[in-house]
C-alpha cells in the first residue's frame, strides 16, 4: 500500500501534514550533536530553534536586540517570534520531515506551535542528562556562545527545570516521549537513538 493510502486507512488525518519530531533535553544534553547524526541516516531536516534565533540576531532584524538580550539571560523568546522562524524554515526546506531541536521550551511555545501549524509531533525525543555533565560539556565546547558562561548556564538550567520539563511531562502523559540516556559517549547515545528511529521507519514502510 502506498504511503498516502496507508495514512488514509489509518484514519490518522495527517495527509499533507509534515512529520515533526521535537528534540528536547537540557542545555548541553547533546540534542544538536545527535540531530546531525539523525539527519545523515534518516533524511530529516534539522531545525534548531536556538540557531534560528541566533541567525535572526546576525541578520540585523529589528527583533535582534531583544532576542540577544533574552539569550544572554537564558530567557525564553516570545513564541510569536520563534514559531514564525520555524514555520518559515519548514516552508523553505522543501522537506516534509523535521527535527525541531530545543523547542517547545514552555507551555506557551507548545500551544502556539500547535495552534498556528496544526501539527502535533509524531513523538518527542528526550535526552536525559544530569546537570553536572551538561555543565561540563557547555563549559568545554568553546563555540563562542555568549550564553555558555557559568552564570547564564545556571539560569538556563533553572528555566529548563521550571518551564521546559513540564512540556516533556505533557507529552509523557500522551505516551509520546522516547527517553534517551544521554550521559554516554556520542556513538553509544546514537545507538539508542537508532533504536527509536528504526522501528518508526518500519511502521511507515509497512
Q: Which residues bind ligand UDP (CB under 6 A)?
A: 27-28, 31, 48-50, 53, 70-71, 74-77, 82, 102-103, 105, 147, 156
Q: Which residues bind Mg ion (CB under 5 A)?
A: 32
3-state secondary structure of 103: coil
Q: What's the min distance (Å) between Cβ of 95 and Mg ion? A: 20
CB of 106 to Mg ion, least distance (A): 16
Please say which residue, 115 or 149, places its beta carbon nearer to Mg ion: 149
Q: How far is the CB of 95 from ligand UDP (least distance, A)?
A: 20
3-state secondary structure of 113: helix
Instruction: Determine how β-strand 97-101 pairs with β-strand 177-181.
Output: unpaired
80 or 198: CB nearest ligand UDP? 80
Residue nearest to ligand UDP (CB): 50
Please state, in angstroms and rounded to a whole number, the distance separating the CA atoms of residues 2 and 17: 16
- Which of 60, 73, 63, 21 has the alpha carbon at shortest distance from 42? 21
Q: How far is the CB of 123 from ligand UDP (least distance, A)?
A: 18
Angle between helices 49-58 and 79-93 (to 10 degrees): 100
Amino acid at each position: 500500500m502506498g504511503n498516502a493510502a496507508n495514512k488514509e486507512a489509518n484514519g490518522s488525518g495527517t495527509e499533507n501534514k509534515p512529520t515533526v519530531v521535537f528534540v528536547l533535553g537540557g542545555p548541553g544534553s547533546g540534542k544538536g550533536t545527535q540531530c546531525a547524526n539523525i539527519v545523515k541516516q534518516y533524511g530529516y531536516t534539522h531545525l534548531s530553534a536556538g540557531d534560528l534565533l541566533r541567525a535572526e540576531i546576525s541578520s540585523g532584524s529589528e527583533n535582534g536586540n531583544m532576542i540577544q538580550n533574552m539569550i544572554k539571560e537564558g530567557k525564553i523568546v516570545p513564541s510569536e517570534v520563534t514559531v514564525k522562524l520555524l514555520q518559515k524554515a519548514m516552508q523553505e526546506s522543501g522537506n516534509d520531515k523535521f527535527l525541531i531541536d530545543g523547542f517547545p521550551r514552555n507551555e506557551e511555545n507548545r500551544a502556539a506551535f500547535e495552534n498556528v501549524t496544526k501539527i502535533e509531533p509524531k513523538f518527542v525525543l528526550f535526552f536525559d542528562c544530569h546537570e553536572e555533565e551538561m555543565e561540563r560539556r557547555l563549559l568545554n565546547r568553546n563555540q563562542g556562545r555568549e550564553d555558555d558562561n557559568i552564570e547564564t548556564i545556571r539560569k538556563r538550567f533553572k528555566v529548563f527545570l521550571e518551564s521546559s520539563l513540564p512540556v516533556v511531562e505533557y507529552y509523557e502523559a500522551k505516551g509520546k516521549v522516547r527517553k534517551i540516556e544521554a550521559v554516554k559517549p556520542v556513538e553509544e547515545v546514537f545507538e539508542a537513538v537508532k533504536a527509536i528511529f528504526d522501528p518508526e521507519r518500519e511502521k511507515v514502510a509497512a
